[in-house]
A and B are shown apart, each in its own frame.
Chain A
Amino acid sequence: MKRLFSKHFWADKDVQQLIGKQLRVGVITSSIIVFLGGMVYLYRHGHEAPDYGTFAGVRQGLDNLPGILQGIMQGKGMNVIQLGIVLLIATPIVRIALSVFAFLLEKDYLYVVITLIVLGVITFSMVGGLERL
């Protein structure tokens, strides 16, 4: 019984390390991209005046992934920043997907189901959100 308990304890530790590492990698990667894009953006537009007083939405090409990637090809700093932002948004969602596998490895099927439910609700809300537009 004691041996079983300690085995479970270590498996639990592994899951924690895995999730912690994925969150860190996601956040560090996206912030490096945001920083690099920011340097380009400040170099090109740093002397201009900010204008956020009235809402007009972001300029075209910054509100969808194909548009963002296209702008990066043209060397636009704003688009590089936005790619980092998209990666940042993806980080917690990837975390959930990764947790499914982590709990599978641990043979904790109750939490495999619980995690799949969370993933399902998120997917539903994203798709539902897109349809509302």
Chain B
Amino acid sequence: MTILLFTLILLAGAFLAGLLGSLTGLGGGVVIIPLLTLGFHVDIRYAIGTALIASIATSSGSASAYVKEGITNIRLGMFLEIATTTGAVVGALIAVFIPTNVVAVIFGCVLIFSALMSFRKKPEAVSDEDVSKLARDLKLNGTYPSGGEMVSYKVRHVPGGYFMMTFAGVMSGLLGIGSGALKVLAMDNIMRIPFKVSTTTSNFMIGVTAAASAVVYLQRGYVSPGLCMPVVLGVLLGAFGGSRLLVKVNTKWLRIVFGVVITFLALQMIYNGINGKL
């Protein structure tokens, strides 16, 4: 295989990853890791570097569109970024002491549990009760456009969501991924935010967490231009396509796609963890 053919195949794979990533709130980058390692036998360290860059591309690319449409809750994202960034620092610090394959197995189990939870629940019945004083004080309650009108929602369980976000941050620092899945679950299941708002706000936040660790990975030589070029371009095209689809797409299908992706990633994590590949 020549570099030209390799680049074209990677471009197509990255396009699908970007589409899926922006529709589900996952970084899109995590799909890149199994694609590169299992599909092309690329070393996991190059794959992690490339996936991080892909996460930033998906996040910033699709977030720009969602922000424009007013779906993203910018204040909520900014407030929770305190949790994810501090979590990422803590994760990077404890990464020295915990073997990553053990973490990968635990992470996989958490993801499968989360996927089951998201299939069981119907969080689209968003409560409009103004029960959280903290959410009011922090101006986290918001509105989003749905079917031509503005729907208002109230945020609940702020401390619980903040704690879960810290955990998501620890995971990204530990594994070098965006942990979009955990971010969505924190907002979706705990804080009871509408699914579209939580996926878009998660997308908005991922870039920040990934960017901080990407600087370190770049200096360690994990970020290879030959891999990043097709992946970044493909993921961006996919993300732009996905952000256009999201406004029209039925969230019931989104949840199914979300659950399937999470389960797939979880099995991937566990498999790699047991094999000691992560």
Check B225–A89 contact: CB distance below 8 A.
no
Indicate if A57 sits at the interface (CB-CB under 8 A). yes
Contacts of A34 in B (CB 8 A): 228-229, 232-233
B3:A114 contact, CB within 8 angstroms = no
Contact call A38/B208, Cβ cutoff below 8 A: no
A contact residues, range: 35 or more
CA distance A34 to B236 in the complex (A): 12
* Chain A residues with CB below 8 A from B4, complex form: 42, 46-47
Of all chain A residues, the one with the shortest Cβ separation from B216 is A129
Main secondary structure of the interface of B (DSSP, over half): helix
Instruction: Say yes or no: is A69 at the interface (Cβ < 8 Å to chain B).
Output: no
> What residues make up the interface of A, taking CB atoms closer than 8 Å to B?
13, 15-17, 19-21, 23-24, 26-27, 31, 34-35, 37-38, 41-42, 45-50, 52-58, 62-64, 78-79, 81-82, 84-86, 88-93, 95-96, 99, 108, 110-111, 114-115, 117-118, 121-122, 124-126, 128-130, 132-133
By a CB distance below 8 angstroms, the chain B residues around A24 are 64
Return chain B residues, CB-CB under 8 Å to A132. 216
- Mark out the residues of chain B between 207 and 225 whose CB falls within 8 Å of any chain A CB in the assembled complex: 207-208, 210-216, 218-225
CB distance from B47 to the nearest CB of A (A): 9
A124–B2 CA distance with the chains assembled, in angstroms: 42
Q: Is the interface of A mostly helix, strand, loop or mixed?
A: helix
Stretch binding the partner chain, chosen from B38-46, B98-106, B247-255 = B38-46
B226 & A50 in contact (Cβ 8 Å cutoff)? yes
B89 within 8 A of A: yes
With contacts A27-B64, A38-B230, A45-B3 taken as known, whether A88 is within 8 angstroms of B53 at the C-beta atoms is: yes
**9 residue pairs from A and B, CB less than 8 Å apart:** A23-B64, A38-B230, A41-B225, A92-B210, A114-B78, A125-B89, A126-B215, A133-B219, A133-B220
